[in-house]
Chains A and B, each alone.
Chain A
C-alpha cells in the first residue's frame, strides 16, 4: 500500500482562528472566526461550512454572518448537542478549528432584489437567517418591504437578543416576535409562529418568503404562506440534515433524489412540495 499527499483533496481543511467566543444561551455559543493566512471565506447567505475539531470530528454549520461584513471574519452559531458540538463549545478565543467550504446553494439574494421579503424564523433557524438579514440591511436600498417574524420556545431561548432589539426598532423593518411559553415579564405575543402570518400586510406577487426553523414548523408555516397567495416558487426553505462530506457523496443528507449539501440546503417550495422526506 502506498500513500501520498493529495493537495487537491476536497477533504483538506483551512485553519480557522477563533477571534471571539460568546456564550449566548445555555446551549448556544457564537464564534467569530478568521482564516489563518488572511484568506477570506467566499460565501453567500444560506451557505454552510464543515467545521471540525480534530479527534472529535466534523459537522455542518450554517454561517451566521453576512459576506458584507468588511472585517473578513465570519461567525458560526453552534448549539451543543453531540460529541463534536460539545468539543466546539470548549473552544475559546485563540483556539483553532478546521474549516472546509463554503458548501451548498444559499438564498437567491439577487432574485430577491426589487422584491419584498417575509422572513419567518423559529428556534435555531435564526442562525442562517441572520446572514440573510444582515446582508439585506447592508444593502437595504435594493429590497422592498422587509418583514421579520421570529418565534422561539421561551424568552430565555432567544438568540442574538441585542441585535434583535435593534432590528425591532428600525423604521425600515416590520418586525414581530412570539414565544410558545411566556414568562411574567414577557410583553410580546404568545403562541405559535403561524399565528403571526395572517396579520402580515403583503403583496403576494412581489413577496419572497424565507422560512427556516425546526422540521415541524415548515408544514404549518408554508400552509399559511400559501393561504396568503404567495407563489410556491417564491417560498424558500433551508433544511438541516446529517452530513459527512458536503460533496454529494456520503448519502446522509439525501432527500429522495436531492442532496441537501449540493442541491440545497436552500430549496424553493416547488422543488420539494411532493417530497415526503422533506419535512
Chain B
C-alpha cells in the first residue's frame, strides 16, 4: 500500500455505503438522543447517523472496555474449577472524532503494557475504526488543540473528511482498503480533492488554537508546581463525588472486579465494571485509612492522571480535549477553568522566580 492513499465518496452514496457495510458486520455510529445528546449505537443506514455531532455521552471506550465484562467463569460443585474468558464482538465504529481516536490510543497503551490485558487486546483486534474529521469546534468545552488531538494522527482504518459535496477518505490500513473495496462507490482522489483537504487543514490550524494560555510542553511543570494549589480546595467545595466525569472520560479505565453467584450458589462469574477514583471508598484500605478521603484530593488525582502522571509513563497527556467531563459535571466544574486557575497561580509565582520561562 502506498504511504498516502485517498479516495472520494459522493455524499449521495453515504447512506448506501453504511447499509452495505452493516450487512457485512455490525456498524455503530453517533445517533441523536435528543437535544445536544448523542450516542454510539448500531445503525443499518447512513441516514440515521448524526454526522454533525458533539462528543457522544459515552466515548467509544464502551466497545473496547465494556461497562461490564466477564473475566472468569467458575464452578465450585466438584472442587474448584475456573476458566478465564473474553467476550467480543466484531464491529465497525463509524464517525470517531480525533479526540476519541486519541482516547482509544491511550487505552491501547495502558492495556498492552506488561502485564498485558488480553481481554482488551482481543476485543481491540475485532473492531474497525472509521474516523470523522471535525472541521470546526463542537462547542466551547473542547480543548483538543491544547492536547494536540484536533488533527488526525493515526488510530483509524479509514478517516472521513467532509469537503462539501463529498467526503475525502484516507485509507490507513489494509482493513480500511477492504472496507472500501466492499462498496463500489469510491473513486480515486484527484489533485483538486487533495488541495481542498490541504486548504481545510490549513484553516483548521488557525481555528484550533491552544484553548488555555499555556504551551503544552510546560503543562508537566505547571502540575509539578500546583500540588498545593488553592484550585483544588475550590473543587473540594463544589465536587459532588458522583463519578460522572470519569465515566464519560475517553481515557479513564479504572475498574472494580466482583463475583456474582448463580442461583445454584455453586457456579458464577467474576466480572469487571467501571469504577471511579472520585468515589469516596476508591482508595480506602482494609485497616480503614483512606488515602484520598477529601474530594479535593480525588479531583486533584483525576487531573494529575490526565496531565502529569502519564507524561512520565507514556509520553503523552491522557486528556483528549473532548470536553465531556465539563459538559457532564452537575457542579459546573470545567476543565478549562481549572487549568486557567492553575496557570494564573503559576504565573503569579513565575513572575518572581521563573521569569522568562514562557
Residues of chain A whose beta carbon lies under 8 Å from any beta carbon of chain B: 1-13, 15, 52, 54-59, 79, 81-82, 85, 96-98, 124, 214-215, 240-242, 244-245, 247-252, 254-257, 262, 276-277
How far is the CB of B265 from the nearest CB of chain A, in Å? 7
**B254 and A251 within 8 A (CB):** yes
Contact yes or no, A15 B309, CB < 8 A: no
Q: Is the interface of A mostly helix, strand, loop or mixed?
A: loop
Shortest A82–chain B CB gap in Å is 6
Closest to A262 in B: B115
Q: Given that A240-B285, A252-B282 are contacting pairs, would A56 and B254 also be in contact in the complex, using a CB cutoff of 8 Å?
A: no
- Report whether A6 and B82 are in contact in the complex, using a CB–CB cutoff of 8 Å: no
Docked-complex contact A6 and B283, CB < 8 angstroms: no
Closest to B268 in A: A55
Q: Do B287 and A56 have beta carbons less than 8 Å apart?
A: no
Contacting pair A10 B304 (CB below 8 A): no
Q: Complex Cα distance A58/B312, Å?
A: 30
| Known contacts A55-B261, A250-B256; A5 and B80 CB within 8 A of each other | no
Give B298 Cβ to nearest chain A Cβ, in Å.
11
- Cβ of B277 < 8 Å from any Cβ of A? yes
Lowest 5 A-B CB distances belong to which pairs? Answer: A9-B84, A251-B254, A96-B80, A257-B309, A12-B84
Residue on B nearest A13 in the bound complex, by CB: B82
> Does B284 contact A256, Cβ atoms closer than 8 Å?
no
Q: Are A257 and B118 in contact (CB under 8 A)?
A: no
B124 on the interface (CB 8 Å rule)? no
Which B residues touch A82, using CB under 8 A?
286
Q: CA of A241 to CA of B83 in the docked complex: distance in angstroms?
A: 27
Do B257 and A245 touch (CB < 8 A)? Answer: yes
Residues of A within 8 A of B297 (CB): 277
Residues of B near A241 (CB, < 8 A) are 283, 285, 291
Q: In the complex, what residues of B have CB within 8 A of residue A58's CB?
A: 257, 259, 270
Q: A249-B110, A254-B277, A276-B227 are in contact. List 14 more A-B contacts (CB 8 A).
A: A3-B88, A10-B117, A13-B72, A57-B257, A58-B259, A79-B286, A98-B80, A240-B285, A241-B283, A244-B257, A245-B255, A257-B304, A257-B308, A257-B313
Say if the beta carbon of B141 comes within 8 Å of chain A. Answer: no
B 246-268 contacts with A by CB, 8 A: 253-259, 261, 265, 268
The minimal Cβ–Cβ distance linking A163 to chain B, given in whole angstroms, is: 23
A82–B116 Cα gap in the complex (Å)? 29
Q: Chain B: which residue is nearest A244 at the CB level?
A: B257
- Check B80–A244 contact: CB distance below 8 A: no
Assess whether B304 is in contact with A256, with CB atoms less than 8 Å apart.
yes
Tell me whether B115 and A248 are in contact (CB under 8 A).
yes
Contact B87 A2 (CB under 8 A): yes
Decide if A11 touches B72 in the complex (CB within 8 Å).
Answer: yes
Q: Are B122 and A251 in contact (CB under 8 A)?
A: no
- Complex Cα gap A215–B293 (Å): 14
Closest Cβ–Cβ distance, residue B14 to chain A (whole Å) = 28
Residue of A3, A15, A54, A250 near B259 (CB, 8 A) is A54
Cβ-based interface call for B196 (8 A): no
Known: A15-B80, A85-B286, A240-B285. A8 touches B88 (CB 8 A): no
Which residues on A sit within 8 Å (CB–CB) of B284? 242
Known: A55-B265, A81-B286. A15 touches B79 (CB 8 A): yes
Question: How far is the CB of B230 from the nearest CB of chain A, in Å?
Answer: 16
Q: What residue in chain B is nearest A58 (Cβ atoms)?
A: B257
Cα distance, A241 to B292, chains bound together (Å): 12
Max chain B Cβ within 10 angstroms of own Cβ: one of A124, A214, A242: A242
Give the docked Cα–Cα distance between A167 and B282 (Å).
Answer: 39
Within the assembled complex, what's the spacing in Å between the Cα atoms of A55 and B80?
12
Which residue of chain A has its CB nearest to the CB of B227?
A276
Alpha-carbon separation in the docked complex, A255 to B291 (Å): 8
A245 to B253, CA, bound (A): 12
Q: Is the CB of B254 within 8 A of A11?
A: no
Q: Evaluate contact between B115 and A247: CB separation under 8 angstroms.
A: yes
| Cβ contacts under 8 Å, B254 to chain A | 250-252
Q: How far apart are B242's CB and chain A's nearest CB, in angstroms?
A: 17
In the assembled complex, which residues on chain A have CB atoms less than 8 Å from the CB atom of B301? 254
Within the assembled complex, what's the spacing in Å between the Cα atoms of A11 and B270?
9
Please give, as numbers and ranges, the residues of chain A lying within 8 Å of B275 by CB-CB distance.
244, 250-252
What A residues does B304 contact at CB under 8 A?
256-257
A2 partner residues in chain B, CB cutoff 8 A: 87-89
**Which residue of chain B is the closest to A276 with respect to CB atoms?**
B227
Q: How far is the CB of B140 from chain A (nearest CB, A)?
A: 30
The answer to whether B82 touches A54 (Cβ under 8 A) is yes
In the complex, whether B289 has a CB less than 8 A from a CB of chain A is: yes
B225-258 CB mask vs A (1 if < 8 Å, else 0) is 0010000000000000000000000000111111
Cβ of A254: which chain B residues have Cβ within 8 Å of it? 277, 283, 301
Q: Given the known A-B contacts A54-B268, A98-B80, are A9 and B118 also in contact in the complex, defined by CB atoms under 8 Å?
A: yes
List, in ascending order, chain B residues with CB within 8 A of A55's CB. Answer: 76, 259, 261, 265, 268
Q: How far is the CB of A105 from chain B (nearest CB, A)?
A: 14
